[in-house]
Homo-oligomer: A and B are copies of this chain.
């Protein structure tokens, strides 16, 4: 790749990073190009599709989430680890409207939870009847609250999350009315998200 092309690519990523963060994934591509000081054609040269750009902007997030998961797995208290993981992911959501959109559609954010859930359940703190698929409820719920409140009441999502977590403790468990979604249902539902 030529030097000027690489440079434009960086400028585009920077612009997209900022605009996605402030306004979500639906920002017009023309505005991203303009903000980057580059023509719309160049944007299309560097990133064939919107998804390509989104992927490039957020590729680091997978590693971030993995790091949060690792931390969570070595926490002294498995429940604290579980809480720390969800809090960490939700903080990413709250800090970036683009990632907030993405997390609700993407699925990759919850897959690393499998072992964290297992550990917390075995410790007896996490209720035994929740599954990985139930974590989508947490993500979708907090995502919705972030979207609604990020301007009016930033930080309100922490209260939503805390209430949700209280419902996930073994000590809070009451019988659930329907079986959990299968993983493929959960994945399909995430893809369907807009």
Q: How many copies does the complex hold?
A: 2
A162 to B155, CA, bound (A): 24
Q: Number of A residues whose C-beta is below 8 Å from B?
A: 47
Of B147, B149, B166, which one neighbours A181 at CB under 8 angstroms? B149
Select one of B155, B164, B169, B181 contacting A153, CB under 8 A.
Answer: B181
| B interface footprint on A178-194 (CB within 8 Å = 1, 0 otherwise) | 11110001101110111
User: What 0/1 pattern do residues 136 to 149 of A give for CB contact below 8 A with B?
Assistant: 11001101110111
Q: With an 8 A cutoff between CB atoms, is A177 at the interface?
A: yes
By a CB distance below 8 angstroms, the chain B residues around A178 are: 155-156, 158-159
Q: Are B141 and A145 in contact (CB under 8 A)?
A: yes
Report chain B residues within 8 Å CB of A140: 141, 144-145, 148
For the complex, is A3 an interface residue (Cβ under 8 Å from B)? no
Complex interface: chain B residues within 8 A of A172 (CB): 166-167, 169, 171-172
A: which residues have CB within 8 A of B?
A: 104, 130, 134, 136-137, 140-141, 143-145, 147-149, 151-153, 155-156, 158-160, 162-169, 171-174, 176-181, 185-186, 188-190, 192-194
* A/B interface sample: 11 pairs, CB < 8 A: A134-B159, A136-B145, A141-B145, A144-B144, A147-B193, A147-B194, A149-B192, A151-B192, A153-B188, A153-B189, A156-B185
